[in-house]
Amino acid sequence: MKVGFFPGCSLEGSAREYNESLQAIAPVLGFELSEVPDWNCCGATAAHTLNHKLALALPARILALAEKAGLTELLVPCSACYTRLAATRDELIHDEVLRREISSIIELPVTGRTKVLNVLDVLAACASDGLKDKVRKPFAYKVACYYGCYLTRPAKLATCKRAEDPQEMDDILRLIGADPVDWAFKVECCGAGLSVSRLGSVAELSGRIVADAADRGAEAIIVACPMCHTNLDLRRDAITQKRHTSYSIPVLYVSQAIGLALGLSPRSLGLHRHHVPVRLPERPTPSPEPAVQPSGPKED
């Protein structure tokens, strides 16, 4: 299966391990990532708070380039980028006058025919296509699946069926051997872009998430967003100072957890790049069941 790929700025920089893990699991799961040529920043949070047409033009150019490359589906792993591209596509296909204006601004035709997918959309398709049969070393850990704000909001763009208690990531993790915990913070905000300007607020919000996951007995927090990973992993020192408690629970991208279950090396998945060391207890790999020998007639 060939799918378009928009890594976005984070996967080229602070979230390199997310990119590495996706590139590592793709061939094993049977899909090919085709990167959008000459892509640009989607504008993230800044553009749509300052200039509406700029906030449309930046994602629209990415969509136009994907269309030009013949990509009918586009994987956007970053949850924030996904929201910007999906929202732009939705607005343009419902407003012909605006679509023509934005096409003129970016000097490229954009029709909106390229479907925008988040990482759970693609991984769920892989799950239904035999992911469980490809597991070599079950990821047999209690996990807290953290969706964050973007994957379930706004409702008209979300592909998760239950906004307040989504199950899509939980279902994928169960297929690779994990035991998702029932917890209270799976869609709560981690502080997002305030990580730089208001670190204290991020430490408070992210600290609640980390603390609840640990209190529920989770051995790892699983995420699908670079900003969420930054706030829960890189900001762990600030969380420790805010809560006067040290938490060792690691934060993994869903693609990294799948990669480990597929038997890929931790380094190929970028686990060495994390701030909080990924130290998971060893779990014995179950031995394959012996083949049952057909019984034949007894010899005299």
What is the structure's pLDDT at 300? Answer: 42
Q: What is the CATH number of the domain that holds 72?
A: 1.20.1050.140
Q: What is the CATH number of the domain that holds 227?
A: 3.40.50.11810
Is the pLDDT assigned to residue 214 strictly greater than 70? yes
Residues 110 and 184 grouped into a single domain: no
Lateral strand order in the sheet of 179-180: 179-180, 142-145, 220-223, 251-253
Average pLDDT, the chain: 92
Reported in sequence order, the residue ranges of the chain that DSSP labels E, i.e. its strands, are 2-5, 32-35, 73-75, 115-117, 142-145, 179-180, 220-223, 251-253
- pTM (global) more than 0.85: yes
**Could you tell me the residue range of the domain that residue 176 belongs to?**
131-273
d(CA 230, CA 40): 22
In a domain, 293, yes or no: no
Residues 38 and 58 grouped into a single domain: yes
What is the structure's pLDDT at 293? Answer: 54
List pLDDT tens digits, range 50-73: 889 999 999 999 999 999 999 999
